[in-house]
Chains A and B, each alone.
Chain A
Amino acid sequence: GIQVEQSPPDLILQEGANSTLRCNFSDSVNNLQWFHQNPWGQLINLFYIPSGTKQNGRLSATTVATERYSLLYISSSQTTDSGVYFCAVLSNFGNEKLTFGTGTRLTIIP
């Protein structure tokens, strides 16, 4: 099946800093989503972005489908940005099930 790798696994930043999270995938995809899991375990959908660039406030995402990677940018980090960020993809081939990466744990220090 498709492999999804996220980097870095852990990231600790001072409040106000910017960050870039990366998601690499091993096969062609027709769906890619970025999620934020808050400390209470809830998964919040940030972007549905199989290709191109999208922006929502301080967050933006870019997916380069031909090169099989996606980037999530967080600017002017706030403590509420802390949590785990997951990338999830749906392969173009076969099983139509969303496969998750291992996540990036982001900690924002006041």
Chain B
Amino acid sequence: EADIYQTPRYLVIGTGKKITLECSQTMGHDKMYWYQQDPGMELHLIHYSYGVNSTEKGDLSSESTVSRIRTEHFPLTLESARPSHTSQYLCASSSLWSDGYTFGSGTRLTVV
């Protein structure tokens, strides 16, 4: 079944560690996105990609970086995690031929 997968589901790490949040989709979607969300609050776009080798920063400034080497894979990396990065990170994808977004289950990150 076509879907979008995020790992890990939960992550607790120490300050200064480097982490990569994984996102993969099996739907062949060209567009992929990363949103950041504090509990119960609205979602803010931090990165997006319209295809391989395309990455752009979103509306909310973020110290994270992304890469898009393969269509199905859109990982997000924090080089040096800080407590201010504690949040939920949601990955999504959409097709060029349909504007409906599909979201992954999210990664809940806690930096201590």
Given A48-B99, A98-B101, does the pair A43, B33 have CB atoms closer than 8 Å?
no
Cα separation A102 to B108 with both chains bound (whole Å): 19
Known: A41-B108, A86-B42, A100-B42. A31 touches B90 (CB 8 A): no
Bound form: Cα–Cα A42–B103 in Å: 8
- CB within 8 Å: A-B pair count: 54
By beta carbon, the residue of chain A nearest B94 is: A98
Flag whether B12 is at the interface (Cβ < 8 A): no
Which one of B58, B59, B88, B101 contacts A88 once the chains associate, using CB atoms below 8 Å? B101
Say which size band chain B's interface belongs to.
20 to 34
Dominant secondary structure of chain A at its interface with chain B: strand
Q: A40-B105, A41-B37, A43-B106 are in contact. List 17 more A-B contacts (CB 8 A).
A: A1-B59, A31-B99, A33-B101, A41-B90, A42-B103, A42-B105, A43-B90, A43-B103, A45-B100, A45-B102, A48-B98, A88-B43, A98-B33, A98-B92, A100-B35, A100-B44, A105-B40
- Flag if A102 contacts B101 (CB, 8 Å): no
Once bound together, how far apart are the Cα atoms of A45 and B4, in whole Å?
13
Which positions 30-57 of chain B face chain A at CB distance < 8 Å?
A: 33, 35, 37, 40-45, 48
CA distance A43 to B89 in the complex (A): 12
With most chain B CB atoms within 10 A of its CB, the pick from A30, A98, A100 is: A98
Q: For residue A103, which residues in chain B have a CB less than 8 angstroms away from its CB?
A: 40-42
Most chain A beta-carbon contacts within 10 A, residue among B43, B58, B88, B105: B43
Q: Considering residues B58, B59, B101, B105, which has the most beta carbons from chain A within 10 angstroms of its beta carbon?
A: B101
What are 13 A-B residue pairs whose CB atoms fall within 8 Å in the complex?
A1-B59, A41-B106, A43-B90, A43-B106, A48-B98, A50-B99, A84-B40, A88-B101, A90-B99, A97-B33, A97-B45, A98-B101, A100-B42
